[in-house]
Amino acid sequence: MFEMSLQNKKIIIIPFLLLLIIAFAWLIALHGLLIALMGIAIPVGLLLLFALFKNPERGIWVLFGINYIVLGLTRYLPGSLGLIIDSMLVLIHLAVFFKYFHDKDIYKKARNPLMLLAALWYSYALFQLVNPEAVSRVAWFYAMRGVALHMLLTIPLVLMFLDTPEKLSKFFHLWMFFALLGVMKGMMQKFIGPDPWEQAWLDGGGSLTHVLFGKLRVFSFFSDAGQFGAAMGHAGVVFTVLALTTTKNISRIVYGLAAAIFFYGMLISGTRGAIAVPLGGFMLYLILSKNIRLIAIGSIAGMAFYIFIFHTHIGQGNYDIARLRTAFDKDNPSLQVRLENQRKLKSYMASKPLGGGIGSSGNWGQRFSPNTFLANTPTDSWYVMIWAEQGIIGLALHLGILFFIILRSSWVILFKIKNKWLRNRMIALVCGIFGIMAASYGNGILGQMPTGLIIYMSMAFLFMSEKMEDQLKNRIKMKTISENSSTNP
């Protein structure tokens, strides 16, 4: 079988790159930058498509990266770029179907209790199509993607292709890389200012929620400051846990510095509700640590934080700290408005156990059913949105699934996982999920990009923890046998 040498590869690749550069320059001169980018994107997209069908796992990692930045790109490029995530998920599943058409063993890996939960939740979302209260079926198509479809499509891919400790490590490293990019972009907005496209977005209405008292709420390349703050709090919790539990000094320093940077990103977002992520995440960490000394230290730290927020004025001259304090003010006007909206919804929802239909509230409601009560009553919270759109039945099912995942994962961590390396990473993931669950009461973040996809991937890793421990046990066993055979020839 003929194999191309490195020299032959260079002979082909270098002229190809030169032609690409010339074509790019010609397109810019003739049609402008946007058309040039589109012209280059087509062949690059075809190459990526070929690579995806050859190795579906690559598609999952590409999906992770796109998921992190795609909503920010909408400020620079026209169109519904969020559909790229759906298209990528479908393409990866098609690639799996064709590549493993004669090898069905790959699908056995997806036989997992988590898949049943994802299928159950999607089935209820599908049932919402016949909800008599639903005003728009088109709104259902758009809104159900983040609510249920992404969960259903993401989880089996992780179960099938990312089922080793090495893939778990890669997940953490890739997450840290993109989260650091997010903070860097946020710091550019804070200290240099928004770029022209971001300023245009602010001038077009974004400033109403993102410029308060002359101060910018940093949003980085996320959809908004709320999502940015929660995502940074999420990453901060996960990498703090890794820093506290790792045994390697270099890793401890890297994870610790990264976590500090992420919490700084959370602070400059001006998102008060994001503070619930570390509060919820670290509370669960103290429970799972089973370490009396750590619980005592955590309790002291929690008390110190309480005193700092409620009984001192330290740092009050700093806008970010002053705004953070308002998150705990029960008389805050913003909180009172939210509570009033919830009282209105409670009265309206009393006779609607199935809700008003997926996509009936928020932006989708404003777009597809603008003259309805739900479209004109802000939900603010992820859970209030689920309640308004899918009723008390949907909310109970949703919370039941989420808490089952947390409780089941915590039980496995406490009583089943013995490998410290794996156990610590599972603790980090479950604490991150719980932190996002806590913050989702105040903001609609759980199913939004990029948090949603990371949460679903985290869930899949948690439900594979016992499988990964078996792999690690077998490796240790094989290593021991190998060492014994070498010392006893």
DSSP 221-262: TSSSHHHHHHHHHHHHHHHHHHHHH---HHHHHHHHHHHHHH
Residue 117 Cα to chain centre, angstroms: 19
Residue pLDDT, tens place only, 158-207: 999 999 999 999 999 999 999 999 999 999 999 999 989 889 988 888 88
Between CA 256 and CA 243 the distance in angstroms is 5
Q: What is the pLDDT of residue 6?
A: 45
Residue 461 Cα to chain centre, angstroms: 14
Listed residue (399, 410, 389) closest to 437, CA to CA? 399
Residues of the chain with pLDDT under 70: 1-45, 306, 309-311, 313, 315-320, 322-335, 482-489
Q: How far is CA 53 from CA 59, 63, 178, 481, in A?
A: 8, 14, 25, 39
Q: How many CB atoms lie within 10 A of CB 179?
A: 26
Amino acid 467 reads K
Residue pLDDT, tens place only, 428-437: 999 999 999 9
428 within 8 A of 420, measured Cβ to Cβ:
no
Between CA 441 and CA 381 the distance in angstroms is 5
Between CA 338 and CA 122 the distance in angstroms is 28
Q: What is the pLDDT of residue 297?
A: 77
Strand extents, DSSP E, 41-110:
none
Listed residue (442, 446, 435) closest to 279, CA to CA? 435
Residue in this structure with the two tokens 């000094």, named with its chain if needed: 249
* Cα dihedral 333→338→343→347 (10° resolution): 140
* Token pair of 290 as six digits: 């089973």
Angle between helices 83-99 and 56-73 (to 10 degrees): 170
DSSP-derived letter for residue 444 is S
Q: What is the pLDDT of residue 270?
A: 83
Q: How far is CA 357 from CA 240, 300, 328, 333, in A?
A: 39, 46, 33, 29
Q: What is the pLDDT of residue 1?
A: 39
Q: How many CB atoms lie within 10 A of CB 246?
A: 19
Q: What is the pLDDT of residue 325?
A: 66
Q: What is the pLDDT of residue 35?
A: 55
Listed residue (124, 138, 135, 59) closest to 94, CA to CA? 59
Amino acid 346 reads K
DSSP reduced 3-state for 216: strand
Amino acid 217 reads R
Which uninterrupted H or E stretch holds 119?
helix 113-127
284 within 8 A of 238, measured Cβ to Cβ:
no
CA angle 411, 414, 416 (to 5 degrees): 80
- Which residue(s) pair with 212 in the sheet? 215
- Which residue(s) pair with 211 in the sheet? 216
Q: What is the pLDDT of residue 427?
A: 97
DSSP-derived letter for residue 211 is E
Give every CB contact of residue 465 below 8 A, 6+ residues apart in sequence: 409, 412, 413, 416, 417, 422, 426
Which uninterrupted H or E stretch holds 215?
strand 215-216
- Phi and psi for 215 in degrees, rounded to 5? -110, 135
